[in-house]
Amino acid sequence: MYRVFETLDALVTVVEEARGLPMTATCVVPRGDVLDLLDELREALPGELDDAQDVLDHRDELMSTAERRADEVTEQADQDADKLLGDARAEAERLVTQASAEAEQLVGRARHEAERTIADARAQHQDLVERARVEAERLTETGRANYEHAVAEGRAEQARLVAQTEVVQAAHIESGRVIDAGEREADRLRAECDHYIESSLSSFEDTLTRTLQTVQRGRGHRGARRDLSGRPEQTGPRDRIGADLLD
């Protein structure tokens, strides 16, 4: 069959490469080449035709054989599939049963662990609650004691501050009284001092006045004596003092 195709390809090549006639669709082909190719084609076709006829003659048989083989393969495949399906179903059921058993075991273990955990948590909760209650009572007692102590200290401090306030008020009152008394005493002393100074100055003024009068009279007597004798009288200090005393 392959030889026939080769011969036909060569014949087509000869026709395609043939020289064409101008203004026409015909061509000039080498007769010898074309005849040789046709002879080869004639020689090749009977054997290929016989083979093709044999194939056509055995087609039905081949189709029957192929169908029987296909049916056998399909039946075997169905059997194998049913067997595999049964095996898979059995394995799946086994795995489901095993998984269910393992799940039941895990659920039982989880339930037991959860119950134990809950029991431990409740025990810890009770312990913590008891500790918290004891600590709250202790803190309450401590807070009450601290409160009472703070209240007592506050009251003592309040009493002390009140006492200090009373003392301070009394001190302010006493200081005001002392200051007022001091100011009154200072005014009295100032008035007495002014009166003393005034009286002393007045007495000193009188003494000075009398002394000036005595001096003036003494001068007048000495002038009169100087006029009578024509010279001044010789007198000593004692005479002058006596005259002053007599005057």
Contact 14, 34 (CB under 8 A): yes
Residue 239: burial class (beta carbons within 10 Å; 0-12, 13-18, 19+): exposed
CA 106 from chain center: how many Å?
Answer: 44
CB 15 within 8 A of CB 29: yes
For the chain, percent helix, then strand, then coil, each to nearest 5? 90, 0, 10
* R_g over Cα of the chain: 82
pLDDT tens for each residue of the chain, 247 residues long: 667 778 788 888 888 887 777 777 787 778 888 888 888 877 777 666 666 667 677 777 778 888 888 888 888 888 888 888 889 889 989 999 998 899 889 888 888 888 888 888 788 888 887 887 888 788 888 888 888 888 888 888 888 877 777 766 777 788 788 888 888 888 888 888 788 888 878 887 888 888 888 888 877 776 666 655 555 544 454 444 444 444 4
The whole-number pLDDT of residue 230 equals 54
How far lies 150's CA from each of 137, 143, 209, in Å? Answer: 19, 10, 85
pTM > 0.75 = no
What is the DSSP-derived secondary structure letter of residue 31? Answer: H
